[in-house]
């Protein structure tokens, strides 16, 4: 039950896009068509689901104060948490590299469509944000961090696919020239954020 | 009629003859076509002959809204005199009081909304479309009676500008305009709009939903106090709950609508009359209405099972739950908006169900918002294009498969 509420919380209430505005750059850039949005959304789900638990392990058994006590009692007061940023980024970058190779191998069309944004997941703030929130929330088990990563990924996926579908729908609307393109995407994000505010306070 | 035609003809000459006035053509044109059936013919492309056009669609919705409006006005007066302690005044007096309170809201909403629309049309040089006729009527109906007029004006301007004109005008908007206006006020001025209270001239009265949310809060506090062994607090909360419970309206009261609430939302009966008009003329989608209702009903039943014993709000029987607040109003007039709802038939089922389901969920699970219908429908609007996309791609896949088998 806790895991279910954690999942709903991470996917809707603390939606990466609408609550924290994380991962906006790729969100705005790939949401022109649903196809690319689904591709990148799936990649984000995968990367978040893998990196958050891995980073949790790293945090719990290496980085936290006293985390190294399994090595022996003389390491019990070592605090490596100042390394967490660099370690998290390294883990994320290597896993993104892995995803990139897999996508290139199995779906060259999607690889071409995603272009530069796939490697850019490595520096997508939603991914690092997921890892840092995980550290801040002090999860007790790998299951919790797994659920959190997966839920955040699903939230990002829903957001990006929903806006892509809307942008496809309004493609032939008579939008005033100054707000065409990214301007429209910002306004849409605002309106969607208004709709997502309903979950705030659950 | 002849007299009106003569006036309009005179205006027409003035607008067409004068170079400077030419840009005000859209305003004249809208007034002209509003008063008389236009004799326009299609200049290019396909020719479809149909008795129904945008203007007539909008007028039908307005007619469907009239019962809600009239009842809402009467109810405002009724609630006022009830709070004053003199509920025996005549029906006419109550109605007049409500009329005086509600009419300014309507005037401001139409004035600001049409003003923004006219400016855009003159600037873009295209004809005025009548999309705002319905929104302008819906906005006052979903506001608390005593909301300051400037708030109505600001919210209407925001909704028409950001919600509609920026997307290219009538028929292009993504979210429901009236609900955007309400959501804007809801988050910008939460003290006036949170849906748990309605003020009538200094008499603050909680809506039934607000009462139920308070009961839920008290019950949680009471069980905590009981665990802590604080018997005094338990008794005190118990009497408060009993007092509030007495105010919870019966199904019949909620159905007829003699309860406090926003102007047009209280009466499920009037919403049903509107629904019959909309369904009979084929303007609203019965699929959305049915699935919306089923969604709300199933969530109500689910909550009965989950938390019926611990919380009075969750244990409320689903029919009463659906009659309270803006659920029926949203079901009939908001969710069925043909522009912002799903376009595909199976999409409509999914869309309606999600809206209804979420409406009751937000109402109960979210202590900050005792009224969740507005946010649920906005969420549905945002998700509708995605649902359509899924339905269509599913259909494509299915037909491809059928082709392969054949």
ipTM of the complex: 0.85
pTM: 0.86
Smallest Cα distance from A119 to chain B, Å: 26
Structure tokens at B227: 């665990």
On chain A, the residues whose CB falls within 8 A of the CB of B169 are: 174
Average pLDDT, rounded, for chain A: 85
* Nearest-angstrom CA–CA distance, B200 and B82: 11
The yes-or-no verdict on residue B51 having pLDDT over 70 is no
Q: Which residues of B235-246 are buried (b: 16+ CB within 10 A; e: fewer)?
A: eebeeebeebee
- Residue B42: pLDDT band (50, 70, 90) is low
Per-residue pLDDT at B46: 66
Average pLDDT, rounded, for chain B: 82
Task: Report the relative pairing of strands B197-200 and B203-206 from DSSP bridges.
Answer: antiparallel
The yes-or-no verdict on residue B198 having pLDDT over 70 is no
**Is the CB of A166 less than 8 angstroms away from the CB of B366?**
no
Task: Tell me which of A69 and B151 has the higher pLDDT.
Answer: B151
Smallest Cα distance from A95 to chain B, Å: 29
A151 within 8 A of A11, measured Cβ to Cβ: yes
* Nearest-angstrom CA–CA distance, B277 and B291: 19
Smallest Cα distance from A202 to chain B, Å: 5
* Nearest-angstrom CA–CA distance, A145 and B78: 55
Task: Please name which of B331, B98, B99, B80 lies closest in space to residue B198, comparing C-alpha atoms.
Answer: B80
**Is the CB of B175 less than 8 angstroms away from the CB of A201?**
no
Please name the residue of chain B whose CA is at the shortest distance from the CA of residue A37. Answer: B386
What does DSSP assign to residue B332?
A: I
Per-residue pLDDT at B48: 66
Comparing CB atoms, the residue among B162, B174, B184 nearest residue A166 is B174
The yes-or-no verdict on residue B366 having pLDDT over 90 is no
Which residues of A touch chain B, with CB atoms under 8 Å apart?
A: 34, 158, 161-162, 165-166, 168-170, 173-176, 179, 184, 187-188, 190-192, 194-202
Give me the residue spans of the domains in chain B. Answer: 55-205, 208-258+284-397
Average pLDDT over residues B50-77: 85
Q: Which residues pair with B205 in a beta bridge?
A: B198
- Residue B242: pLDDT band (50, 70, 90) is confident
Average pLDDT over residues B368-377: 81
Per-residue pLDDT at B391: 94
B37 within 8 A of B24, measured Cβ to Cβ: no
Please name the residue of chain A whose CA is at the shortest distance from the CA of residue B370. Answer: A198
**Is the CB of A162 less than 8 angstroms away from the CB of B362?**
no
The yes-or-no verdict on residue A189 having pLDDT over 70 is yes
H helix intervals, B161-201: 177-188, 190-193
A111 within 8 A of A118, measured Cβ to Cβ: yes
Q: What angle do CA B101, B113, A169 make, to 5 degrees?
A: 130
The yes-or-no verdict on residue A150 having pLDDT over 90 is yes
Per-residue pLDDT at B385: 92
The yes-or-no verdict on residue B389 having pLDDT over 60 is yes
Average pLDDT over residues A109-127: 78
**In which residue are the tokens 């599913």 written?**
B394
On chain B, the residues whose CB falls within 8 A of the CB of A200 are: 366, 368
* Nearest-angstrom CA–CA distance, A185 and B283: 31
* Nearest-angstrom CA–CA distance, A22 and A20: 5
In percent, how much of chain A has pLDDT > 70?
Answer: 98
**Is the CB of B172 less than 8 angstroms away from the CB of A198?**
no
Per-residue pLDDT at B202: 47
Please name the residue of chain B whose CA is at the shortest distance from the CA of residue A178. Answer: B166
Task: Tell me which of B221 and B378 has the higher pLDDT.
Answer: B378
Comparing CB atoms, the residue among B166, B184, B366 nearest residue A175 is B166
Average pLDDT over residues B368-390: 87
A197 within 8 A of B362, measured Cβ to Cβ: no
Average pLDDT over residues B181-187: 87
**Is the CB of A174 less than 8 angstroms away from the CB of B375?**
no
Q: How many CB pairs under 8 A join A and B?
A: 88
B68 within 8 A of B329, measured Cβ to Cβ: yes
Average pLDDT over residues B160-164: 88
Select from A31, A37, A198 the residue whose CB has the most chain B CBs within 10 Å, as the one to mutate to test that interface: A198
The yes-or-no verdict on residue A132 having pLDDT over 80 is yes
Select from A177, A191, A200 the residue whose CB has the most chain B CBs within 10 Å, as the one to mutate to test that interface: A191
Comparing CB atoms, the residue among B167, B375, B386 nearest residue A175 is B167
Average pLDDT over residues B201-213: 64
């Amino acid at each position: 039950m806790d895991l279910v509420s954690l999942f709903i919380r991470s996917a809707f209430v603390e939606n990466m896009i609408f609550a924290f505005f994380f991962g906006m750059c790729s969100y705005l850039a790939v949401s022109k068509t649903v196809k690319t949005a689904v591709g990148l959304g799936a990649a984000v789900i995968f990367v978040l689901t893998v990196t958050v638990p891995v980073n949790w392990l790293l945090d719990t058994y290496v980085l936290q104060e006293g985390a190294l006590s399994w090595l022996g009692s003389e390491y019990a007061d070592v605090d490596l948490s100042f390394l967490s940023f660099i370690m998290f980024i390294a883990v994320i970058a290597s896993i993104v590299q892995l995803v990139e190779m897999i996508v290139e191998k199995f779906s060259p069309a999607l690889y071409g469509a995603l272009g530069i944004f796939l490697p850019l997941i490595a520096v997508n703030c939603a991914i690092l944000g997921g890892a840092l929130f995980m550290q801040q929330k002090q999860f007790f088990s790998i299951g919790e961090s797994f659920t959190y990563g997966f839920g955040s990924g699903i939230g990002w996926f829903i957001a990006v696919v929903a806006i892509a579908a809307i942008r496809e729908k309004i493609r032939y609307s008579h939008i005033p020239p100054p707000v065409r393109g990214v301007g429209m995407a910002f306004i849409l994000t605002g309106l969607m954020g208004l709709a997502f505010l309903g979950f705030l306070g659950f | 009629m002849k007299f009106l035609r003569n006036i309009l003809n005179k205006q027409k000459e003035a607008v067409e003859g004068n170079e400077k006035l030419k840009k005000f053509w859209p305003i004249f044109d809208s007034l002209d076509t509003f008063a008389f059936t236009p004799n326009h013919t299609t200049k290019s492309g396909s020719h479809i002959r149909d008795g129904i056009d945008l203007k007539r669609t909008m007028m039908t919705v307005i007619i469907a809204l009239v019962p809600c409006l009239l009842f809402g006005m009467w109810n405002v007066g009724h609630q006022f005199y009830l709070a004053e302690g003199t509920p025996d005044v005549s029906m006419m007096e109550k109605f007049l009081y409500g009329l005086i309170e509600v009419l300014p809201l309507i005037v401001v909403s139409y004035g600001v909304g049409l003003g923004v629309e006219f400016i855009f049309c003159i600037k873009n040089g295209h004809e005025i479309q009548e999309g705002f006729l319905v929104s302008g009527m819906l906005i006052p109906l979903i506001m608390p009676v005593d909301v300051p007029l400037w708030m109505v004006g600001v919210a209407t301007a925001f909704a028409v500008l950001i919600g509609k004109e920026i997307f290219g005008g009538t028929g292009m908007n993504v979210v429901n305009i009236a609900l955007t206006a309400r959501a804007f006020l809801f988050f910008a001025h939460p003290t006036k709009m949170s849906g748990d209270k309605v003020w009538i001239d200094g008499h603050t009265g909680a809506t039934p939903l607000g009462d139920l949310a308070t009961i839920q809060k008290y019950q949680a506090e009471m069980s905590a106090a009981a665990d802590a062994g604080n018997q005094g607090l338990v008794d005190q909360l118990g009497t408060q709950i009993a007092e509030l419970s007495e105010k919870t309206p019966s199904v019949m009261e909620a159905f007829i609508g003699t309860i406090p609430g926003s102007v047009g939302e209280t009466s499920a009966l009037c919403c049903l009359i509107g629904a019959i008009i909309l369904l009979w003329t084929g303007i609203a989608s019965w699929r959305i209405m049915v699935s919306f209702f089923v969604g709300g009903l199933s969530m109500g039943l689910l909550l009965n099972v989950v938390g019926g014993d611990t919380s009075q709000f969750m244990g409320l029987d689903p029919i009463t739950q659906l009659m309270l607040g803006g659920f029926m109003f949203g079901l009939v007039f908001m969710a069925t908006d043909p522009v912002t709802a799903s376009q595909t038939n199976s999409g409509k089922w999914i869309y309606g169900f999600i809206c209804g389901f979420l409406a009751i969920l937000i109402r109960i699970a979210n202590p900050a918002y005792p009224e969740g219908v507005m946010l649920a429908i906005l969420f549905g609007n945002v998700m509708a294009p995605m649902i359509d996309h899924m339905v269509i791609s599913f259909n494509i896949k299915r037909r491809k498969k059928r082709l392969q088998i054949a």
